[in-house]
Structures are given as structure tokens and as C-alpha cells.
Amino acid sequence: MTGEPLLEVRSLRTYFATEQGDARAVDGVSFEVREGETLALVGESGCGKSVTALSILGLVPEPPGRVLPGSSVRLRGEELVGASETRLREIRGGEIGMIFQEPMTSLNPVFTVGNQVSEAIREHQSFARRPGESRSAAIRRTTIEWLGRVGISEPELRHGYYPHQLSGGMRQRVMIAMALSARPAVLIADEPTTALDVTVQAQILRLLASLQEELGTAILLITHDLGVVAQTADRVLVMYGGQIVEEAPVAPLFREPRHPYTEGLLHAVPDLYRRRARLAEIPGSVPHAAAWPEGCRFRPRCPYAWERCFEPPPLVAGSAEGPARQDRCWLEEEPKRRAGAGFGVAVRPAGSP
Amino acid sequence: MASGGCALIRFALRRLLQAVPILVGIVTLIFLLLHLAPGDAATAYFNPNVSPEIIDRMRENLGLDRPIHEQYFRWLRAFFTGDFGYSFGQHRPVSAVLADALPNTLVLSGVSLVLIFVVGCAVGAVQAVRQYSKLDNVLTFTSLFVYSMPGFWLGLMLILAFSSPALPDALRLPISGVTSIGYEFMGPLGKLLDRARHLVLPSVALGIASAAGVARYMRGSMLEVIGQDYIRTARAKGLPERQVILKHALRNALVPIVSLLGLYVPLLFGGSVVIEVVFSWPGMGRALYNAILGRDYPVVMAASFFFGVLVLAANLVVDLLYAAVDPRIRRA
């Protein structure tokens, strides 16, 4: 399933100028997406997931945002940070496709969906003319083929529909057609199912999985929904405070989370089989990106925190599993401290079993 | 698209039907207003040398002794059959007066309208794309300055500036009328050029303040659109920035601007009364102005009526444009 590193992100730092100083939205993130795999990027709102995605494509609005020198994004070895706008335009929608969270607002309301999908196809020349066929006829035919391919019934008719005439799920299918029409090597899916209801969510995930198999696309899936991660991802990156706090293959991560933040996220998922008195939440909320806490950024919300956590912990490989797993926590050096603390313990009301 | 066109035609027909009662309302209002005003048409002939009997006879002849509802219906019928009466001031039928004036007004306001929207939208869009740049600040200041100038004063200043003997001949522009002396002897191209040169100053004076207003609106509208998710989508597709702005952003930013058109057209006709007088432009505005001064009631009534019709027509066009620009309107 997984192969060579396709997209390599190294020490990516994207800051935004705010009145309270620089908001360090993404602060030294490194990871790689390998051919054909699904890599999930998980975390709460405000921890830098979407900014990471926009930074990869060079779409961070500037000002107020900026990608700091020393950051590197390589696609098959080619540096994208500081690449020419012309080259970036070839890559956007060509080699890296992107779909967004809100299918309601991500499509332009005044153009037909056919028009919007065909733009991508025309821009990246991703159509083949049949003998005797005109350029525009070939683009139109390819567009309709793609609409059919993403599961839109009567694609010929829907080609002339405006976004407001389609349901949320249909609009997201249109977005997928647009993003995949140039057969990109990587698809960045930023919360692709968050705005959809659960049945439609499952359909969209199945569609993405089957297109991934067909086209061999690698997917960087950005989500806060651990259910979606469990269903689709091969590997998981957990982000907190603009940094990666844990990286692991999907099964081990769910079986044995190492970073307290991951543990907290997993505790916050309702579990049908283990009845708890109440769902454990992570106390507090993500601090503002202009004022990350000193030392470990999760420290103020962490049930294990002790004095050492005022020093920033490094991202280190977990002891047993080797380099596939990494996490950013002093507990790796003092594992004894795990005993007697944790999320379930901290919030269980007194007197309940 | 075929079904879209059909819906557009039905939409247009419905709006056209809705305009009929409004038109009747306008006509009635004009009639009532003139009857509420002191005096009547016969008083125009008040003169110590005319005996009261003659004035009474004149009232009888003109039908002014009849009950008001009878006058109203007679007048209504005449109006809708195109009989607007006789101008006391110009001693010829009102329809002839209007036939001369209407085309001039349409040309002047049409050119002004194009100026307002083309210049306004272009300036606003450029400002939005270059937000907070030096250019943006200069244009913001300029448009506020222009917006604050009264049209008649600006007209006079333009006349002073462009008729100044200090200017070389090539830069001087005509300051009054529609055509120059000797127009009849020009070739077809010369005639067109002469008319165009005469249009420059009045249309600028008439439209520039509104253009500045449109620019302010357009800047805001464009900025809002540029922040939308679908603009990010367009960029993520790899479209060139020019296409992102000129296609995806502009079309959406124009939706609220189109409704401004409906607000600016009545302003334009109101302004044309003053501007046509300042520039001696023989249009409806000047005809109305002279008729009011001369108590030439038939012309006042007919001119007001036509201004009403023009405003209605403009609003119909606005509604159609609105539907054409924004597909979401067509269903309603």
C-alpha cells in the first residue's frame, strides 16, 4: 500500500501577524506522504492542520501570513517553497489536488458545476481529443465523464446545474471531480466530510477510497474525526499547538496512544462497549497561537504534567516500535509517571464504579 | 442553459405586468399634484386686458369646468393614446417637444450610466485587489472628494477649465449643446466625433459622483468576495490570478452592484435636469425646467410621466440583469 516518499514537509513554519504578535500557526512541522497511502492529520480546531495544507500549496494569504525561511516542502524532490507562481499553478490542481470542508461555500454560486470542473480540466490539459473532436467538445465530454465517475447521476444534465441546485453530498462530489480530474499524485482533503450528515459522509469516504485505488493517489486527510481516521487512514499524525505531537500507524495509535493529547482525544470518543459514567473531555481549550505555553504546549491541559514539562520535549521515536512511531512527551523518558493519572481518572465523578 | 433562458423570459413578462399598475399610479399622481397646485391652465392667460367671461369660456373650451373625475378619465384616455396636449410655451404639440428632447436625454444618461458603472467597477475592483496600497489610498481619497462635489458646481468648473483660452485648441472641449455650428457640413465620422466631444463634459459632470459612489461599493463587495471559500477553490485549481479575479470574483462582486443601478437611475434623471441646464443640453431635463418656469403644464405632466416610465424601465432592466448575473434569483 505504501511506497516512496512523495511529498516531504520539513520544518514547516507558517506564522500570521496579529495584534498580539506573531501567531505561530504551524511551528516546525515535518512529515512525509508516501505513494498511494492515506495519511491522517488529526487535531482540534486551531492547532494548525488547515494552515499546513494551505502552506503546501502556497495558498497562505500573505499578508498577514508568511511561510518562514528554512521551511521546505518537496514534491518528488522538487522544492515548492519559493517556487515560481507559474510552477505552483501547475502543481495546484495538477499534481496536488485539494478539497475543502464546506461544499456549500467552496463552489462558486454563479457558475454551473460543469463550468467549474471544466476549468480545472482545461487548465491542466487533462483531456484527450478524439479524432475529429473539437477542443471544447473534448473538455465537455471529459467533464461529464468525471461527474459520472464521482457518482453524480445524469451527469449530462447536472453539467448545467448551479451549485444551489445540488445537495451537500453532490457538491462535495463535484469538488472531488474537480480536484482529481488532473489525476494528481496527492490529494489534500481538508475535513471533506465534516459538513455532511453521517450517511453521506460514509458514501463520500467510500468514493474517495475507490478513486484512490483506481488512480493510486496518496491522500493527506485532515480531520478531527477519529472515526473517519480509523476507517480510512494508514498512518496518523496528531497535531497540537502547531506541532506534530505524535506519529504512528493507525492500529497501534488506537491500541496504545503514547502522547497524553492523543490519549485525551481517544477518551473523548464515545465507546459503545465500555460504558463510562460520562464522556471524558480534555479540560480547557487550545490556546491562542500567538501565546503558546512555555515548554510543552499541552502542559496546561495535561493530567500528567510536572516540572520537567516547562522545558520543550523533543519528538522522539517510541522505545519498542522503532522509527515508525514518534511522540513529543517527557513521559517517554519517565514512563513510571503514567501510572495513577490520565483522563479517565481525572474526570470520573466520585462514587461511580 | 435552455431552461434558464425560458425562466428568464417568464420572469421578464411577470415584471412587465407588474409595471402596469405602477404606471397608472404615476399618471394619477401627476394629475392630482397638478390639480392640487393653485391655479389652472387658464390662469396662464391671466391678464388685466382679458375679461373674466373670456377666461370662463376658455375654461369651458379646455374642459376645466367639468367634475374632476370626468377630467381625470378624459385625460387618462388621451394620455394612453399618446395625446399629451399642446405646449402653451412652445406653441406646438407636446409630443413634438418630447420627440426632440427624449433622444438627447437618453444619449446623455446612457453614456453617463456606462461611465458610472464601467469606471466605478474598474476603480473599485483595482482598489480591492491592491487593498491598503498607496494606489488604494489615493483612489479612496479621490473618490470621496469627487463624491462630495455637487454636480452643477462640478459642471461649472469643468466649463471653466475646458473652455479656458490657456488650453491648446486640441484639448478644448465644447461646453454647450449637442452639436457644433457647421455640423450639417461634416462627414459621417466627423459628425460622430463632434457629438462625442459634446458628450464628454455633461456626461462626466452628471456621472462622476455616482461613479465614485459605485467605486466605494465595488471595493467593499469585491473585498468580501475575495475572502470567500470559492476564491480559494479557484486558486487551488491552479487558475491564473487574472482568471480568479476577473471571472470568479468579479461576477459575484457585481451582484450587489447591479441593484445599485436601480437606485442610481432616478438620481441620474434628477441630476440631468440641472446638468442639462448648465450645459444647454436640449433634453427632457431642460424641457422640464423651462416648462416649470413657464407654467407650461402639459409639458410638465408629459415630461414627469416619461421620467417615471424611464425609471420603471430601468428597474425592469435591473431585475433582468440581476437574474442574469445571479442564477439563484431566477427560481423566485
Q: Contact, B285 vs B233, CB < 8 A?
A: no
Predicted confidence band of residue A24 (pLDDT cuts 50, 70, 90): confident
pLDDT over 70 at B218, yes or no: yes
What is the distance between the alpha carbons of residues B184 and B32, in angstroms, rounded to a whole number? Answer: 44
Tell me how close the Cα of B215 comes to any Cα of chain A, in angstroms.
Answer: 22
Residues on chain A touching B247 (C-beta within 8 angstroms) = 111
Closest-CA distance, B227 to chain A, in angstroms, reads 10
Note the pLDDT of residue A349.
42
Residue A155 near residue A117, CB atoms below 8 Å:
no
Across the interface, whether the CB atoms of B237 and A100 are under 8 A apart is answered no
Chain B residues closer than 8 Å to A164 by CB: 327-328
**Could you tell me if A350 and A269 are in contact, meaning their C-beta atoms sit under 8 angstroms apart?**
no
Does the B2-37+84-330 domain belong in CATH 1.10.3720.10? yes
Provide φ and ψ at A344, rounded to 5°.
Answer: -60, -40
Residues of A with Cβ-Cβ distance to B325 under 8 angstroms:
110
- Nearest-Cα residue of chain A relative to residue B249: A108
Residue contact A162–B327, C-beta within 8 A: yes
> In chain A, pLDDT over 70 holds for what percent of residues?
90
pLDDT given for residue A351 in this prediction: 41
Full 3-state SS string of A286-319? CCCCCCCCCCCCCHHHCCCCCHHHHCCCCCEECC
Q: Is A209 helix (H, G, I), strand (E, B) or coil?
A: helix
pLDDT of residue A339: 74
Q: Which tens digit of pLDDT belongs to each residue from A130-163?
A: 888 888 899 999 999 999 989 898 999 999 999 9
B252 near A CB under 8 A: yes
Looking at the complex, report in whole angstroms how far the Cα of residue B232 sits from the nearest Cα belonging to chain A. 8
A111/B326 CB distance under 8 A: no
Helix axis angle for A113-123 and A135-149, nearest 10°, is 110
Give the highest mean pLDDT range of A71-85, B207-221, B295-309.
B207-221
Residues of B in contact with A85 (CB under 8 A): 241
Distance, CA of B114 to chain centre: 11
Is the bond preceding A63 in cis, omega lying within 30 degrees of 0?
Answer: yes
pLDDT in tens, A69-80: 888 899 988 888
Longest Cα–Cα distance of chain B, Å, equals 86
Q: Is B234 on the interface with A (CB under 8 A)?
A: yes
Helix (H) or strand (E) segment spanning residue A348:
none
Mean pLDDT of B21-35: 84
Q: Which of A108, A118, A119, A176 to mutate to test the interface with B (most CBs of B within 10 A)?
A: A108
Contacts for A257 with CB less than 8 Å, ≥ 6 apart:
A246, A263, A265, A266
| Angstrom distance (rounded) from CA B278 to CA B239 | 49
Tell me the torsion sign for CA atoms A341, A342, A344, A349: positive
Residue A353: per-residue pLDDT? 41
Residue A272: which pLDDT band, with cuts at 50, 70 and 90? low
B239 interfacial to chain A (CB closer than 8 Å): yes
State chain A's mean pLDDT as an integer: 84
Task: Compute chain B's Rg from CA coordinates.
Answer: 24
CB pairs under 8 A between A and B: 76
Decide which of B219 and A297 is more confident.
Answer: B219
The residue ranges of every structural domain in chain B are 2-37+84-330
Residue B330 pLDDT grade (very low, low, confident, very high; cuts 50, 70, 90): low
Give mean pLDDT, residues A256-283: 75
Q: How far apart are CA A266 and CA A259, in angstroms?
A: 11
Which pLDDT score is estimated for B40?
A: 65
pLDDT number for residue A2: 47
**Average pLDDT for B47-69:** 77
Query: Which residues in chain B are contacts of A100 at CB distance < 8 A?
Result: 229, 232-233, 236
State whether B238 and A124 contact (CB < 8 Å).
yes
3-state secondary structure chain B: CHHHHHHHHHHHHHHHHHHHHHHHHHHHHHHHHHHHCCCCHHHHHCCCCCCHHHHHHHHHHHCCCCCHHHHHHHHHHHHHCCCCCEECCCCEEHHHHHHHHHHHHHHHHHHHHHHHHHHHHHHHHHHHHCCCCHHHHHHHHHHHHHHCCCHHHHHHHHHHHHCCCCCCHHHCCCCCCCCCCCHHHCCHHHHHHHHHHHHHHHHHHHHHHHHHHHHHHHHHHHHHHHCCHHHHHHHHCCCCHHHHHHHHHHHHHHHHHHHHHHHHHHHHHHHHHHHHHHCCCCCHHHHHHHHHHCCCHHHHHHHHHHHHHHHHHHHHHHHHHHHHHCCCCCCC
For residues B241 and B225, what is the distance between their CA atoms, to the nearest angstrom? Answer: 14
Q: Do B228 and A124 touch (CB under 8 A)?
A: no
Q: Is the minimum CB–CB distance between B235 and chain A shorter than 8 Å?
A: yes
The residue assigned the cell 481517544 is A266
DSSP structural state of residue A332: G
Q: What is the mean pLDDT of residues A56-85?
A: 87
pLDDT for res B14: 84
Helix (H) or strand (E) holding A22: strand A21-34
Most confident of A15-19, B116-120, B129-133, B259-263: B116-120
What lies within 8 Å, CB to CB, of B121 at 6+ separation is B214, B215, B218, B250, B254, B257
Does the distance separating the beta carbons of A164 and B328 come in below 8 Å? yes
pLDDT at position A253: 86
| Each residue's pLDDT tens digit, A226-265 | 888 888 889 999 998 888 888 888 888 888 888 888 888 8
Beta bridge partners of A9: A31, A73
Q: What pLDDT score does B244 carry?
A: 92
Closest partner residue to A110 among B232, B235, B326, by Cβ? B326
Q: Find the residue in A nearest to B247 (Cα).
A: A111
Shortest Cα distance, chain B CAs vs residue A81, angstroms: 16
Reported as type and span, the H/E element at residue A91 is helix A85-91
- Residues in chain B with CB shorter than 8 Å from the CB of A171 are none
Contact B252 A98 (CB under 8 A): no
C-alpha cell belonging to residue B266 = 432616478
Residue A119 is nearest to which of B237, B251, B326, comparing CB atoms? B237
Q: Is B91 on the interface with A (CB under 8 A)?
A: no
Most confident of the ranges A4-8, A181-185, A319-323, B183-187 = A181-185
Measured between alpha carbons, how far is residue B252 from residues A107, A172, B106, B224, B324 in Å? 12, 21, 29, 10, 12
> How confident is the model at residue A113, as a pLDDT?
93
Residue with cell string 492515506: A38
State whether A59 and B236 contact (CB < 8 Å).
yes
What tens digit of pLDDT does each residue of A300-350 get?
A: 888 888 888 888 888 887 656 566 788 888 887 777 777 766 675 444 444
Tell me if chain B has a CB within 8 Å of the CB of A126: no
Q: Which residues in chain B have their CB less than 8 angstroms from residue A157's CB?
A: none
3-state secondary structure of A328: coil
Cβ neighbour number for residue A219 with a 10 Å cutoff: 25
Measured CA to CA, the distance from residue A321 to residue A68 in angstroms comes to 33
Q: Per-residue pLDDT for B2 more than 70?
A: no
Chain A contact set for B252 (CB, 8 A): 108-110
Q: In B, which residues are within 8 Å of A162 by CB distance?
A: 327-328
- How many CA atoms lie within 13 Å of B212's alpha carbon, on the beta-carbon side? 19
Q: How far apart are CA A224 and CA B151, in angstroms?
A: 59
How far is the C-alpha of A239 from the C-alpha of A52, rounded, in Å? 10
pLDDT of residue B202: 93
Contacts of residue B235 in chain A, CB cutoff 8 Å? 59, 92
**Residue A56, CA atoms < 13 Å, CB-side half-sphere:** 31
- Least confident range from A20-24, A281-285, B159-163: namely A281-285
Please give the single-letter amino acid code of residue A140.
R
- Angstrom distances, CA of residue B1 to CA of A178, B252, B317, B321, B332: 21, 19, 20, 16, 17
Q: Which residue has the cell 476564491?
A: B231
> Which of B236, B243, B328 is facing A92, going by the closest CB pair?
B236
Nearest CB to B1 within list A105, A119, A160? A160
A94 vs B228, B234, B238: nearest CB: B238
Chain A contact set for B327 (CB, 8 A): 109-110, 162, 164
Average pLDDT over residues B140-156: 90
Question: What letter represents residue B4's amino acid?
Answer: G
CB contact B7 to A (< 8 Å): no
Distance from the Cα of residue A180 to its chain's centroid: 16
